[in-house]
Structures are given as structure tokens and as C-alpha cells.
A = this chain, B = another copy of it.
């Protein structure tokens, strides 16, 4: 999309690369948001800029929560109801000689040993994950606490983000205790009220802020930021 066709290969010039990243990052975030709005679905997106800047986008829930949900699905469906992990390992190790697979299988074996050692510990963890509910009453382990805390942290960020402009919580921002959070201006992308249910943030560590926080937050309208979700 542009004057010339672009070659799908790493751009060597760092400047151009960063520029391209910025542009396309916005495009992808926009598209992701559109998908989330049009289809009323959850989307989570994480991108590292060539400079190491992290951009995350997520509709409705926090990236972490979406992760957890996806993990729950796969973990519950695949690992917990799977009483025999061994066959997989066997099938993997038995086919060592299959051409290009060798490298992977060697790795799989090395990991497999550890997997077995971790099995017991994991069954406990999986138990927790299976019944993971971000409800205060159910928190009983470091793991759950951390997962829940991530959610809280995201809430905090959102709130921080929305309030930054209004309240100018300069103490935090200036001291960099909470890096600046930016909301992409997606108004042009479509329905505003829909967008308000999503948030996109970019944080740059140890770097001065370049953009202004925007957005008024708006979760109270749908109540999506609740522990019940």
C-alpha cells in the first residue's frame, strides 16, 4: 500500500524500520480494535518496537486476563484431562531421526525431563488455574495472587491513564514510578463509545514522554471491569 511494493524482509535501515513500525503498529491496533468492536470479541495484542518499546492493546479485558482465559482453555482442555503425558513424549523421542525434526526433538527431550520433574508441582498449579476465578475470596496462592494483581495493575493503569489528564498526577509520572501511558486516538477509526471499552497503551521505559494521554475511560457504562468477568 504505497507508491511501491514493499519487500517482505527485514528493513536494515534502523530509521526506516522504526518509522515503518510506528505506522504499521497503529494500523494493526486499529484493525484489532475494529475486529473487537465489529465482532464483539476479545483481542489482545503485544508488540515490541525495534527500540524495545512495548505496545499492548486489548479489548475489554486486560491482556493478562485474555491470556489467562486462553490459557485456561488450553490448559484445562489439554493438560488436565490428559492422564497420559508419556505417550506424547514417546512419540516425540521415537522419531528422532526424522530429518529436520532432530533439533526440535532434542530440545523436546531435554525439556521433557524437566517437564516430568515439574509434573507434581504443576498438577497443583493447574488445579489452581482450572478454578481460577479473579475473585478475592478464592485467592490462596502466590500464583493466583499474581494473576489477580496483574489484573488490578491493569485497572490501575487504565484509571491512571484516564485520570492523568484530568488530575495531572505529576508526582508519579515525573518520578517515573508509573511510566506515561498513552491512549491511541482511535476516534477516527469508528464508533467512539465502542472504542471506549477497549484500551491501548504504550509505555516507554526510562524515556521521556512524547505523547499526551487521552481518553476519558468509560468502564462504568458497561461495568466490564468487575471481578466477575
Interface residues of A (CB under 8 A from B): 6-11, 17-18, 20-21, 24-25, 27-28, 31-32, 34-35, 37-50, 54, 56, 63-64, 66-67, 69-71, 73-75, 77-79, 81-82, 84, 87-88, 91-92, 95, 98, 100-105, 107-108, 110-112, 114-115, 118, 121-122, 124-126, 128-129, 136, 139, 141-143, 145-146, 148-150, 152-153, 155-156, 158-160, 162-163, 166-167, 169, 171-172, 177-179, 189-191, 194, 203, 205-206, 216-220, 223, 225-227
Contact = CB atoms under 8 A, between A and B. Distances in A.
A67 B64 contact: yes
A166 B98 contact: yes
Contact of A152 (B64, B105, B114): B114
A153 to B, nearest CB: 7
B118 A149 contact: yes
Report copies per complex.
Answer: 2
Given A41-B50, A47-B42, A104-B219, A95 B17 contact: no
A167 B95 contact: yes
Contacts of A7: 190-191
Nearest to A189: B8
21 contacts: A8-B191, A9-B191, A10-B38, A11-B39, A17-B39, A20-B38, A21-B38, A24-B35, A39-B50, A41-B49, A44-B46, A46-B70, A54-B70, A88-B160, A92-B159, A114-B152, A115-B149, A118-B139, A121-B142, A122-B146, A125-B149
A111 to B, nearest CB: 5
Contacts of A102: 220
B50 A21 contact: no
A82 B48 CA distance: 23
Contacts of A81: 177
Nearest to A8: B190
